[in-house]
Amino acid sequence: MNIGTRKILDRSFTAVGIGSIIVMALALMVVVVPIVSNGIGAVFFTGTVEHRKMLRNEFQRGDTQHLASEVASSERYRARVYEILGTFEKELEGMEPALKRQYTSKYAQTRTAIQALLGPLPGDTTPMLTRFKYGQTRWEKAEEKLHDLLYESKWDNSNSEIMGKEYFVSRSNAFKGTSLAPLFPYMKSNIEKMLLPEFTVYWGFITDSSVDSHFFGGIWPEIQGTFFLAMGAMLFAFPLGVIAAVYFTEYARPGFLNSMLRSANSTLAGVPSIVFGMFGLAFFINTLKVSESKSVLAGSLTLAIMILPTIIRAAEEAILAVPKTYREASLSLGSTKWNTIATVILPAALPGILTGGVISLGRAAGETAPIIFTAAVSVGSAIGLADVFSSPTPALSWNIYNLASEHEAAAQLRHVQYGMVFALVTIVLLLNLSAIVLRARISKKMKG
């Protein structure tokens, strides 16, 4: 081959390698950036007066007097809407039956759209579900709903070759000539005065519990549940893992038994996470009956088994990294083997062991599959520390799945889902970052 071609091949080989690392970094960015940018929106957003009403009624927060004046000023503009609706209802009564039938269903749609935007209209019975008690609490949602009010969405299926296309028909045209017609331009021009959007920082998203299955409120029960589960798993797995690592590094003699134990460890590390969940269900709940049904305890035990191999490996590496001179110095001073391990080796290996522990904590917090059958419920309030032995808990990872895939209004609650994912990713990545920083400091210290 030509030397030039060989050079080109060499360069492009390098380019492929660097390219794939760049693609990996880009993938990380592509996944993390939308989660962060949309997740922040759960706490920082433009809230409407409905949001402040909700906070006042559900969480007893906010300045009552200021709210009352805001509500009064928004009601001044809303009154005109109610007036138009009332006039049209009267007009509808007096219409001929054919015309009346034509308008009734369209009017009902319009009325529902206004309810979604502004909350229950005067004369409505108080709704059972909290989600219908308020109008749009977030301004960007309100703008979407305003569009829904102004335009009716229809699907064009005329071309059977391609998928149907959505198009919009103005509602005000449908009501041309009736007393409802002025409603649409009025809504369009006065929506801000009716909803009073204002930049809001809602820390309650982190510290409040949810109202009406995450329509309002925050994610505290999930954060707490994740914390309980992960901490519980560490409580079981960390001591056991460190002891096992001490045995493997200091006491185990090479041989059949030892290699079997090591094989068992790597087998455990490779078991699919969903199988841990099945095992937790079959063993901890159905056989040992550690609790009646799902509980934090059963979930923690399952997660503990899952993270055990990681902890053992990390602790082993940390112990092996302790310089031999430490050991020899301690032994030459006359201390016993056990003394050496407890007072010299373990303290020296501690930062490394902790690094492994922190990473495992992150893994336990982020895993979903093992807790589906053993610990997680989709709705529920925060549980007390005394309940961990008997009651299940909501957890971030499970509730993200549940809210995004199974909730009846999944598409409306994207901001809550993003907020949850952001919270989970932040927790896990912060744990990992601290582990990375810790490890960098250790290696710097080891170098001297």
Residues 144-173 that bind another protein (CB under 8 A): 162-163
Closer residue to another protein (CB): 112 or 168: 168
Nearest distance in Å: CB 359, another protein: 7
Residue of 278, 350, 382, 438 interacting with another protein (CB under 8 A)? 278
Round to whole Å and give the CA distance between 269 and 287. 23
Supply the minimum distance, in Å, between the C-beta of residue 368 and another protein: 5
Is-contact 234 357, C-beta < 8 A?
yes
User: From residue 358 to residue 397, what is the string marking binding to another protein with x (rule CB under 8 A)?
Assistant: -x--xx-xxxxx--xx-----------------------x
The residue (of 180 and 421) whose beta carbon lies closer to another protein is 421
CB 420 within 8 A of CB 403: yes
Nearer to another protein, 17 or 127 (CB): 17
Per-residue binding string, another protein, 403-432, x by CB under 8 A, is: -xx--------x--x---x--xx--xx-xx
Tokens of 29: 């960015």
* Alpha helices, H only, 208-295: 220-246, 256-270, 273-279
Which residues contact residue 246 at a Cβ distance below 8 angstroms, ignoring those fewer than 6 apart?
315, 319, 341, 346
Contact residue for another protein among 279, 351, 382, 412 (CB under 8 A): 279
**Residue 102 within binding range of another protein, rule CB under 8 A:** no
Beta bridge partners of 210: 217
**Subset of 220-259 contacting another protein (CB under 8 A):** 240, 243-244, 246-248, 251-252
- At closest approach, how far in Å is the CB of 429 from another protein? 6
Residues 9-68 that bind another protein (CB under 8 A): 9-10, 12-21, 23-25, 27-28, 31-32, 34-35
DSSP 132: G
Q: Are 425 and 37 in contact (CB under 8 A)?
A: no
Total binding residues for another protein by CB under 8 A?
93
The amino acid that residue 18 corresponds to is I
Among 235, 321, 342, 436, binds another protein (CB under 8 A): 436
Q: Which residues pair with 198 in a beta bridge?
A: 47
Of 145-153, 182-190, 200-208, 399-407: span binding another protein (CB under 8 A): 399-407
DSSP 51-68: HHHHHHHHH--S-HHHHH
Positions in 290-329 near another protein (CB under 8 A) = 305, 308-309, 312
Q: What is the DSSP string of 56-107?
A: HHHH--S-HHHHHHHHHHHHHHHHHHHHHHHHHHHHHHTS-HHHHHHHHHHH
d(CA 118, CA 135): 4
Count how many Cα atoms sit within 13 Å of the Cα of residue 210 in the half-sphere of its side chain.
24
Q: Which of 272, 329, 342, 389 binds another protein (CB under 8 A)?
A: 272
Cβ atoms of residues 42 and 396 within 8 Å: no
Closer residue to another protein in complex, CB, 119/362: 362
- Shortest reach from residue 115's CB to another protein, in Å: 27
Dmax (CA) of the chain: 108
For the chain, the first-to-last Cα distance in angstroms comes to 49
The residues, ordered by sequence, that sit 6+ positions from 62 with a Cβ below 8 Å of its Cβ are 52, 55, 56
Among 79, 275, 320, 321, binds another protein (CB under 8 A): 275
Residue 87 or 432 with smaller CB distance to another protein:
432
Pick between residue 69 and residue 286 the one whose CB is nearest to another protein: 286
From residue 184 to residue 223, the character string flagging contacts with another protein as x (rule: CB under 8 A) and all else as - is ----------------------------------------
Least distance between another protein and beta carbon 413 (Å)? 11
Q: What is the DSSP string of 342-394?
A: IIIIHHHHHHHHHHHHHHHHHHHHH--HHHHTTTB-SS-PPPPGGGGGT--B-
Nearest approach, Cβ of 443 to another protein (angstroms)? 10
- Which of residues 67, 121, 181, 261 is near another protein by CB under 8 A? 261
Span from 50-58, 80-88, 267-275, 324-332 in contact with another protein (CB under 8 A)? 267-275
Name the β-bridge partners of 165: 156
Cβ nearer to another protein, comparing 36 with 92: 36
Q: What are phi and psi of 46, to 5 degrees?
A: -90, 110
Query: Using CB under 8 A, which of the segments 129-137, 143-151, 217-225, 268-276 binds another protein?
Result: 268-276
Angle at CA 416, nearest 5°, toward 390 and 133? 90
